């Protein structure tokens, strides 16, 4: 089965590599490959290649058609339908998926999505899974930040066929009757009972995640520890948890079966145990929402159970291939997710280490060590590729806590969750035992997570370093006695070597990040990095410091910024500071709002320094500026032999006028990040004339409520002949300044990283 599975995966990846979907007639190109596969018996597995291509193309096209009609964006619409997810509470917001019955009176169809994602502020009552509601909503097409190293939210929405996002207005009506999705309601009920049984327990959210697959109750601090130690998989119901449940049920039912002569006379005990194991694992996978890892584990378990029933045993590679085929048939777009590769990569590494080896010691300790070795080495290239980081303490963390979770936490949690329905006291006791074990092991994980060497940064690697690392990992996992096993470890090193910046002395790069309606920019010289503003903080509690800025810095191999400048105190410019400081505690910060941010220095006119032949100068505010807020924004000019950039924060008319009085002759710059996002309260004609930019960037959010940049301001800059760009349309922007040449705009991330699910 592994040949058809790899062929189908190749066809799926061919579609995912396309910059856009091919027109229907191009599918005829798949016919020769199909004919070649059917021509000879030995090559019939090749038929799965065009099958994967066509199936992925059809799925992608269907999801694209499910997007909201652009004419409906921003309008107040009436949506009737059902809550299609477990609601997630994030601060004052409740987020949920909503299955549309009608939108503005029209059923789902082209331009009318079947599924939308909604936010409700201060909802009372909170909509529950399966309920029938009528909402007044304001929607927009799927949209997300587009930055190097950042999470692809648009891709995430696309893969789930979510055709619009938006928020609920005040008018929300619970409609009588019409409940749907009994499995969702069961999961929601179980989550609620677990919460009631574990009041004020710091690990109640983790227990709920193990029982229902809902991870919304896990705190941000807990996630950071799990991510730093690469133990996130403990909270995602996957092969480990499915295997624990299946193994327990198999041993239990087989033992019971053997005590009945009547049962043994009809079916062998192992058949009864295998069937019970599969059915129990299927119920557990259903509670987890049939996530991708549970699909893989369940298909592999089905193959095992079928082999026991039919008295046949599939080869491990064929079992894995069958799981791969099953997952791709269910959802070919899953191949674009990191979890797909990590899930199958982990199983493939384990099977490779155990299959065909002789002389292995099979004590439980040696098997545990061997498994952790296989997973740790096998997934290292993938972790570096997807997350630009690899946990160095992960093997030790998993070695210590995986047995605890497998033998104690998971069984206690599941048994406790089941008992809550008919023996609440006993169920609560078992759940408290599970969270007690978590609490005992947690200080150990925290200690590992905060070690200086807990993880190594891996700058976004190119294809060649990843390929070499995968070859090195493969060779390291070969049996003892293979030549050059230890030297193969050298092939992993390129993942963690930061490539030269390519910026010569006197040169610098300016990157304007896509942070929505806010501002964050990064200036990089040959050996130094400056962050100008950190973007907004959101009602949900998250911020662009953690979601955009830090991932970008890590993807570029930047260990820490040398300096951060906060232009002023507005949250759309300073909202990410707390996350940035948490990641880089010793980072100095300059700001015009020192009264709002402790441990900062005032930015004042006259402050100057030089890094690698590049000059930095604070032009504003001066010591006697009578203004505050926007009109006191720090204005920073960065200059080199190849040109200069002017960063102005939210400076408005009064601030611009005073800046012109202070230093009108020193404002001229090749690149200007427009003041106050291009509002009518800024970019006055005298200021525009003084700067005379060749390029202007507007840091704005998609369909922002203020309609920035204003058309009048855009026309004003356009009349000067400046080249215009904005973060909403272009994603992250980068311009390179080099001695002896003109500045070059070499990145528009939304265009450069455009894919078939990326809105243009």
DSSP per-residue letters across 430-482? HHHHHHHHHHHHHHHHHHHHTSTTSEEE-----HHHHHHHHHHHHHHTSPTT-
Could you identify the residue written with the tokens 């150990």?
444
Q: When comparing pLDDT for 458 and 334, which is higher? A: 334
Separation between Cα atoms, residue 409 and residue 417, nearest integer Å = 12
Strands (E), 449-581: 455-457, 508-512, 521-524, 529-532, 563-566
Across the chain, what does the average pLDDT equal? 87
Q: Could you tell me if residue 612 is inside a domain?
A: yes
Q: Could you tell me if residue 759 is inside a domain?
A: no
Proportion of the chain in helix, strand, coil states, percent, rounded to 5: 50, 15, 35
Q: Could you tell me if residue 668 is inside a domain?
A: yes
Q: Could you tell me if residue 644 is inside a domain?
A: yes
Q: Token pair for residue 406?
A: 């497998």
Give residue-wise pLDDT tens across range 686-725: 999 999 999 999 999 999 989 999 999 999 999 999 999 9
Separation between Cα atoms, residue 395 and residue 342, nearest integer Å = 16
CB-count burial class (<10 Å; 0-12, 13-18, 19+) for 715? exposed
Peptide bond into 435 cis (omega under 30): no
Per-residue model confidence (pLDDT) at position 25: 65
Judge whether 601 and 618 are in contact, CB under 8 Å: no
Q: Tell me, yes or no, whether 153 and 300 share the same domain.
A: no
Q: Tell me, yes or no, whether 704 and 656 share the same domain.
A: yes
Could you identify the residue written with the tokens 């009972």?
193
Per-residue model confidence (pLDDT) at position 659: 94
CA distance from start to end of the chain: 39
Separation between Cα atoms, residue 539 and residue 327, nearest integer Å = 36
Give residue-wise pLDDT tens across range 356-414: 666 666 666 677 777 777 887 888 888 888 877 766 677 778 778 888 888 889 889 98
- Whether the pLDDT of residue 321 is over 90: the answer is no
- Whether the pLDDT of residue 42 is over 80: the answer is no
Q: Could you tell me if residue 147 is inside a domain?
A: yes
Judge whether 179 and 130 are in contact, CB under 8 Å: yes
Separation between Cα atoms, residue 340 and residue 277, nearest integer Å = 24
CA distances in angstroms from 523 to 503, 512, 534, listed in the order given: 12, 9, 13
Q: Token pair for residue 676?
A: 């106050």
Neighbours of 109 (CB within 10 A): 12
Q: Tell me, yes or no, whether 317 and 384 share the same domain.
A: no
Residue 315's domain spans which residues? 189-355+404-456
Q: Dihedral, CA atoms, 48, 52, 53, 58, nearest 10 degrees? A: 130
Looking at residue 570, which CATH number applies to its domain?
Answer: 3.60.15.10
Q: Tell me, yes or no, whether 590 and 536 share the same domain.
A: yes
The residue out of 153, 180, 207 marking a domain boundary is: 180
- Whether the pLDDT of residue 760 is over 60: the answer is no
**Buried residues in 704-713 as b, exposed as e (16+ CB within 10 A):** eeeebbbeeb
Q: Could you tell me if residue 210 is inside a domain?
A: yes
Q: Could you tell me if residue 398 is inside a domain?
A: no
In this prediction, residue 194 has a pLDDT band, given cuts at 50, 70 and 90, of: very high
**Buried residues in 373-392 as b, exposed as e (16+ CB within 10 A):** bbbbbbbbbbbbbbbbbbbb
Q: Tell me, yes or no, whether 13 and 149 share the same domain.
A: no
CA distances in angstroms from 565 to 373, 533, 656, 726, listed in the order given: 44, 6, 19, 21
CA torsion sign, 133 to 139 to 140 to 146?
negative
In this prediction, residue 667 has a pLDDT band, given cuts at 50, 70 and 90, of: very high
Q: When comparing pLDDT for 171 and 65, which is higher? A: 65
Q: Token pair for residue 666?
A: 């020193």
Q: Tell me, yes or no, whether 632 and 562 share the same domain.
A: yes
Q: Dihedral, CA atoms, 277, 279, 284, 288, nearest 10 degrees? A: 130
Q: What are all long-range contacts of 660-667, with beta carbons under 8 Å and residues at least 24 apart?
A: 660/686, 660/687, 660/690, 662/605, 662/619, 662/620, 662/622, 663/605, 663/619, 663/620, 664/690, 665/690, 666/617, 666/619, 666/637, 667/619, 667/637, 667/691
Per-residue model confidence (pLDDT) at position 112: 94
Q: Tell me, yes or no, whether 620 and 710 share the same domain.
A: yes
Q: Could you tell me if residue 432 is inside a domain?
A: yes
Q: Token pair for residue 752?
A: 């450069």
Judge whether 511 and 732 are in contact, CB under 8 Å: yes
Separation between Cα atoms, residue 342 and residue 664, nearest integer Å = 56
Give residue-wise pLDDT tens across range 264-308: 888 888 888 888 888 888 888 888 888 777 888 888 888 888 888
Give residue-wise pLDDT tens across range 147-170: 998 888 998 999 999 999 999 997
Per-residue model confidence (pLDDT) at position 609: 96
Q: How many domains does the chain have?
A: 5
Spatial neighbors of 14 by CB under 8 A, at least 6 apart, are 52, 53
**β-sheet bridge partners, residue 79:** 103, 135
Q: What are all long-range contacts of 592-601, with beta carbons under 8 Å and residues at least 24 apart?
A: 592/566, 592/567, 592/568, 592/621, 592/632, 592/633, 592/634, 593/566, 593/568, 593/569, 593/632, 596/569, 597/566, 597/569, 600/566
Separation between Cα atoms, residue 481 and residue 485, nearest integer Å = 8
CB-count burial class (<10 Å; 0-12, 13-18, 19+) for 39? exposed
Q: Tell me, yes or no, whether 560 and 645 share the same domain.
A: yes
- Whether the pLDDT of residue 521 is over 90: the answer is yes
Q: Tell me, yes or no, whether 87 and 218 share the same domain.
A: no
Separation between Cα atoms, residue 135 and residue 168, nearest integer Å = 6
The CA-CA-CA angle for residues 20, 23, 26, to 5°, reads: 110
Separation between Cα atoms, residue 600 and residue 120, nearest integer Å = 36
Q: Tell me, yes or no, whether 118 and 78 share the same domain.
A: yes
Per-residue model confidence (pLDDT) at position 360: 62
CA torsion sign, 249 to 255 to 258 to 259?
negative
Per-residue model confidence (pLDDT) at position 377: 82
Average pLDDT in the 602-618 region? 95
CA distances in angstroms from 467 to 368, 385, 471, 651, 682, listed in the order given: 28, 10, 6, 48, 50
Per-residue model confidence (pLDDT) at position 709: 96
The pTM of this model reads: 0.88
The residue out of 65, 98, 120 marking a domain boundary is: 65
Provide, rounded to the nearest whole percent, the portion of the chain with pLDDT above 90: 45
Please tell me whether residue 758 adopts helix, strand or coil conformation: coil
Per-residue model confidence (pLDDT) at position 358: 60
Q: Tell me, yes or no, whether 424 and 517 share the same domain.
A: no
The helix or strand, by DSSP H or E, that contains position 76, with its residue range, turns out to be strand 76-83
Strands (E), 114-224: 115-121, 132-140, 164-174
Per-residue model confidence (pLDDT) at position 361: 64
The helix or strand, by DSSP H or E, that contains position 182, with its residue range, turns out to be helix 182-197
Per-residue model confidence (pLDDT) at position 702: 93
Per-residue model confidence (pLDDT) at position 357: 63
Separation between Cα atoms, residue 410 and residue 416, nearest integer Å = 10
Per-residue model confidence (pLDDT) at position 30: 65
Separation between Cα atoms, residue 516 and residue 508, nearest integer Å = 25
Q: Which of 612, 588, 614 is nearest to 599 (CA)?
A: 588
Average pLDDT in the 580-598 region? 93
Give residue-wise pLDDT tens across range 335-358: 988 888 888 888 888 888 877 666
Q: Tell me, yes or no, whether 532 and 631 share the same domain.
A: yes
Give residue-wise pLDDT tens across range 6-40: 988 998 998 888 877 777 666 666 666 666 666 66
């Amino acid at each position: 089965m592994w040949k058809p599975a790899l062929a189908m995966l190749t066809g799926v990846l061919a579609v995912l590599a396309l910059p856009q979907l091919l027109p229907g007639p191009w599918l005829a190109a798949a016919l020769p490959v199909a004919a070649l596969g059917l021509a000879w018996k030995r090559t019939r597995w090749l038929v799965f290649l065009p099958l994967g291509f066509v199936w992925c193309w059809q799925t992608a096209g269907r999801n694209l058609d499910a997007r909201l009609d652009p004419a409906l964006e921003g309008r107040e619409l009436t949506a009737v339908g059902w809550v299609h997810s477990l609601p997630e509470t994030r601060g004052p917001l409740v987020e949920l998926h909503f299955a549309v019955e009608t939108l503005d009176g029209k059923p789902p169809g082209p331009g009318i999505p079947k599924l939308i994602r909604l936010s409700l502020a201060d909802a009372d009552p909170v909509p529950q899974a399966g309920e029938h509601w009528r909402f007044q909503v304001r929607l927009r097409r799927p949209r997300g930040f587009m930055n190097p190293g950042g999470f692809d939210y648009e891709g995430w929405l696309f893969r789930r066929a979510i055709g619009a996002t938006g928020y609920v207005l005040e008018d929300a009506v619970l409609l009588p009757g019409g409940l749907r999705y009994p499995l969702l309601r069961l999961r929601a009920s179980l989550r609620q009972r677990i919460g009631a049984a574990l009041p004020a327990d710091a690990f109640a959210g983790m227990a709920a995640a193990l029982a229902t697959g809902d991870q919304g109750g896990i705190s941000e601090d807990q996630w950071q520890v799990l991510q730093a130690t690469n133990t996130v998989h403990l909270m995602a119901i996957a092969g480990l948890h499915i295997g624990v449940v299946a193994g327990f049920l198999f041993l239990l039912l087989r033992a019971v079966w053997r005590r009945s002569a009547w049962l043994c006379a009809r079916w062998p005990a192992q058949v009864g145990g295998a069937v019970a194991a599969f059915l129990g694992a299927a119920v557990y996978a259903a509670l987890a929402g049939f996530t991708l890892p549970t699909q893989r584990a369940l298909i592999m378990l089905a193959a095992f159970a079928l082999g026991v029933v039919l008295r046949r045993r599939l080869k491990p590679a064929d079992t894995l291939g069958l799981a791969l085929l099953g997952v791709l048939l269910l959802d070919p777009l899953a191949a674009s997710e990191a979890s797909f590769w990590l899930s199958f990569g982990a199983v493939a590494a384990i099977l490779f280490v155990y299959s065909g080896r002789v002389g292995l010691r099979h004590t439980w300790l040696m098997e545990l060590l061997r498994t952790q070795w296989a997973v740790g080495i096998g997934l290292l290239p993938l972790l570096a590729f997807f997350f630009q980081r690899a946990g160095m303490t992960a093997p030790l963390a998993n070695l210590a806590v995986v047995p605890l979770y497998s033998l104690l936490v998971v069984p206690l949690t599941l048994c406790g969750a089941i008992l809550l329905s008919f023996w609440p006291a006993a169920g609560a006791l078992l759940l408290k035992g599970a969270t007690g074990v978590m609490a005992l092991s947690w200080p150990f994980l925290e200690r590992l997570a905060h070690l200086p060497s807990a993880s190594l940064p891996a700058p976004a690697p190119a294809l060649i370093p990843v390929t070499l690392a995968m070859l090195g990992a493969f060779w390291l996992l070969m049996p003892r006695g293979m030549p050059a096993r230890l030297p193969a470890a050298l092939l992993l090193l390129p993942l963690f070597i930061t490539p030269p910046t390519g910026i010569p002395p006197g040169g610098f790069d300016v990157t304007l990040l896509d942070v929505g309606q806010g501002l964050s920019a990064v200036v990089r010289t040959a050996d130094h990095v400056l962050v100008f503003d950190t973007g907004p903080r959101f009602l949900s509690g998250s911020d662009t410091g953690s979601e955009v800025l830090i991932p970008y810095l890590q993807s570029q191999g930047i260990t820490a910024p040398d300096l951060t400048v906060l232009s002023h105190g507005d949250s759309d410019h300073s909202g990410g500071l707390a996350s940035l400081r948490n990641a880089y505690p010793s980072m100095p910060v300059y700001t015009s709002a020192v009264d709002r941010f402790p441990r900062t220095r005032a930015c004042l006119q006259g402050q100057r320094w030089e890094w690698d032949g590049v000059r930095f100068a604070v032009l504003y505010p001066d010591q006697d500026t009578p203004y505050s807020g926007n009109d006191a924004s720090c204005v920073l000019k960065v200059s080199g032999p190849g040109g200069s950039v002017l960063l102005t924060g939210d400076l408005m008319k009064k601030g611009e006028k005073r800046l012109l009085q202070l230093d009108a002759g020193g404002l001229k710059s090749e690149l200007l990040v427009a003041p106050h996002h291009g509002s009518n309260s800024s970019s006055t004609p005298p200021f525009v004339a003084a700067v005379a930019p060749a390029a202007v960037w507007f840091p704005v959010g998609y369909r922002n409520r203020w309609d920035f940049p204003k058309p009048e301001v855009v026309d004003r800059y356009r009349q000067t002949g400046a080249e215009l760009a904005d973060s909403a349309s272009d994603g992250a922007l980068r311009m390179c300044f080099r001695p002896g040449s003109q500045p070059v705009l070499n990145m528009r991330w939304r265009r450069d990283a455009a894919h078939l699910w990326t809105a243009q």
